[in-house]
Structure 1
């Protein structure tokens, strides 16, 4: 799990991003890239990726806590992420906005690009920089594939290819993704996305004044 929290709290002129631990590194990279010094970040556990029903109540508590600490400006660093609209209910309750789209795989590619290729990617297994770094921890060990490699077909037999959505150009991560495709017996495609819509969304959120 990768999380990050800025220690500067309780300042109404600052923006707090409450995000998924899976995009913590990327949010901080965009912050540095754009010089968003007034952006703070706190993250919910990355493993909520597997338990989307836990995201809305955890986000609700995080927003309440943030407001109690003095944050007037909050942005949710999640797309819907499998919550079936429940995340939108929490955002509406608190009057905050979230990342547009169904999941991070969409906003990394950019919503227009994702919508154009979504049907063709129905049988694709997406990986990101985070999932490359955490491939063993997030897939191999939890699924027991290190002990029972024969289960690979049961878990991944309905996929056709691994699509690595690369946020950075890192040969080590490229190798992880390529090796994962070989291990899973799938075709391989690499798409360099950079940070996609995350960059514009954070820039827009930080530019807004407290309501």
Structure 2
């Protein structure tokens, strides 16, 4: 058995990381998750990460952080440089799931885009509608979403129920809907690079390596997302959603206001730390 590696992750990634652990047989991956609600208070993330790294450093030779920058303005990177750990590449989960070039193309095609992942599609009411008060005051829709034109669902799993949930979310927000299946993207490739013994015996990379397929509101295929060479990093976070020249007071795309509560299946929160 290889030496264990600790992965400290955002709670919104717990399901995906556990799925990859099962797929690849990474029994030496030990997972600790911080509450997804910290995306509403990104300034707290670096300090919490530092505490966890120091708490577990003596038990692990390697610690990997499954966060992007996540609205910390380089705060996570400064902590990791001091503590000798590394993180996922990218500014936010939308970028590392879709890939920098593909995400850049989506952003350039429609700057006023609101993004969902599987986690947000699954918990849209709990993490977006209720925290923003849209269930009690639907008239706030224009104040929050008036500058958006489209909702893009970046899916990890091929799940008809989640696709339907994402389409309903777009309809509720009165936005054009597009589905882009990404698989696990950079989350999988980054973890695989650190679990090489298991990865060498794992499944074919074609399971998640195909070009994402873009779909419209009627689920009709409208062609693959073309990679571009303009893959500049973004300075947005899941809290703010990727920035747009067409927005003014945009809401938090991953409005993780109640993260850390137990979901029905427990998978997102089963490893949450206080």
TM-score w.r.t. length of structure 2: 0.69
Secondary structure of the corresponding residue to residue 195 of structure 2 = helix
- Tell me if 1:102 matches 2:102: no
**Stretches of 4+ moved more than 4 A in 1?**
none
**1:52 counterpart = 2:42:** yes
- Partner of 1:114 in structure 2? 103
Q: Residue 118 of structure 2 contacts residue 162 of structure 2 at CA under 8 Å; is this kept in 1?
A: yes
- Distance apart, 1:120 and its partner CA: 2.5
CA contact (8 A) 2:114 2:152 kept: yes
Report what 2:57 is aligned to. Answer: 67
Identify which of 162, 183, 188 aligns with 1:173: 162
Q: Which secondary structure state, in structure 1, belongs to the residue aligned with residue 8 of structure 2? A: strand
Assess if the C-alpha contact under 8 Å between 1:31 and 1:37 holds in 2: yes
Matched, 1:29 2:37: no
What residue is the counterpart of 1:133 in the other structure? 122
Counting matched residue pairs gives 197
Q: Deviations over 1:46-81 (max 9, x none)?
A: 11122211110110111011114x111100000101
1:43 counterpart SS class:
strand
**C-alpha displacement of 1:121:** 4.2
> Which residue in the other structure is 2:148 paired with?
159
TM-score (norm 1): 0.89
Say whether residues 1:16 and 2:30 are aligned partners: no
Displacement of 1:143: 0.9
- 1:76 match: 65
Maintained 8 Å contact 2:107/2:113 = no
Larger relative CO (CA 8 A, sep 6+): 1 or 2?
Answer: 2
> C-alpha separation between the residues in 2 aligned to 1:91 and 1:207?
22
* Greater fraction of residues in helix: 1
CA 1:160–1:172 in structure 2 vs 1: closer, same or farther (change >3 Å)?
same
